[in-house]
Amino acid sequence: MLYVLGVLLAVLGIGLSIALHEIGHLVPAKKFGVRVPQYMVGFGPTIWSRRRGETEYGVKAIPLGGYIRMIGMFPPAKDQAEGTMRSSSTGRMSQLVEEARQQSLEEVQPGDDGRMFFQLPIWKRIIIMLGGPVMNLLIALVLFTGIFTLHGVAVTTPTISSVNECVDIQQMGQQAANTCTADMPVAPANAAGLKPGDKITAINGTPVESWTDVRMAIRANLDKPLTMAVDRDGSTKKLTADPIVLNMPVYGDDGQPEKDAKGAVRTERAGFLGASGSVEMQKQPITAVPGLFGDQVGATYELLVKIPQKLVGVAEAAFGSSERDPNGPMSVVGVGRIAGEVASSDIFGDAGDKAILLLTLLGSLNLVLFAFNTVPLLPLDGGHVAGALWEGIKKGWARLRGLPDPGPVDVAKAMPLAYVVALAFIGMTLLLVYADIVKPVRLT
């Protein structure tokens, strides 16, 4: 029952995200006077619809997106009067262009002059096309702001959670639960008397506030004697340790190990103590939200760039024996399964913890929708924005040179590429749906 509830919540969240995305287009379009015959959530057969004014609002059967239909999305050809259609074209590519142009003009009625999308000033067209992605960005911002400030983020603190008994010098990334043998040296932290629950407040006389400060100080110290001030049961104790030098992973600004061109983890000679900090949830001030949210946006674009590479791994998992990458892309089917798994499993904590995970999932989904729709390729929103910007550049250059206005950019000419992009997107969707059925990403 809880699994089904999680899936239903995911479907509801995805549906609302799509609906609000399209409202982000609809509101400015109507504000700027464009006639909008349809506002639809989903694709395929219409399940429900109702007409209000000049717009039909409805829900379709396949929840893989949505759209609003604006008249005059593409300008007429240069030898074609506005609001009319040419009878025929030769050549398959020309036919695709003309079909797209005719579809955008077929609902033009008497009195629609000035209400067609291509007739708007460039800045208004950009606002309309960016309205959808920006709506998804705002949804994600609201969700993550609440999560960061009311729930907190996982932070590794200088409070010790575990101390290694010994050191396996052949292994990077030591763990506290090592099985010690006679030839393994005692861990420096253990030999110094460091205990779980101790809070390191200073190293070599320099105050430390985070586990990153502690780790960097230990690594840079190499094998020189190191002094630590620790808070133990309310009193301050001074401890002295003799770190050992090991080949340790090099960490980037994001806290993740760096890799070389071949994909191998980069290492360096660094001091090692043999203790781990404690992970705690810390509520963040509102001033920290821009930086934290910016990191989320940046990580989303990094994932977007890696999608072609990630899809290879998805295909290998779906049609072979390899496992799915939990950080790889998934379809709405996969999102639903993850939501069901979170809702039904006790390992994710109580109801509040599960709600945070589901909201995080929804926020991440909206960031993906934002990033994906800003890609400057038709039929995505970013493709129309790119066309409008190119038109602005051409008109600005013509004004500087005293040349006649070159007119609107004929975005319809890019429709053959748009069909290729659409087919690629359909193929990606089918692959992800299949993989999410036969080899789903599992959190448990």
- Cite the active site residues: 22
Cis omega (within 30 of 0) for bond into 243:
no
CB-CB neighbours of 116 under 10 Å: 23
- Establish how many alpha carbons lie within 13 A of residue 388's alpha carbon, considering only the half-sphere containing its beta carbon: 20
C-alpha distance across the termini of the chain, in Å: 18
Is residue 322 within 8 Å of residue 316, measured between CB atoms? yes
Cα–Cα distance, 125 to 72 (Å, whole number):
12
CB-CB neighbours of 237 under 10 Å: 14
The residues that bridge with 55 in the sheet, in sequence order, are: 52
> Among all chains, which residue has been given the structure tokens 């781990």?
276
Q: How many residues does the structure list for the chain?
A: 444
Is residue 214 within 8 Å of residue 185, measured between CB atoms? no
Q: Which of 117, 99, 136, 135 is nearest to 36 (CA)?
A: 117
- Establish how many alpha carbons lie within 13 A of residue 247's alpha carbon, considering only the half-sphere containing its beta carbon: 6
Q: Which of 410, 412, 409 is nearest to 391 (CA)?
A: 409
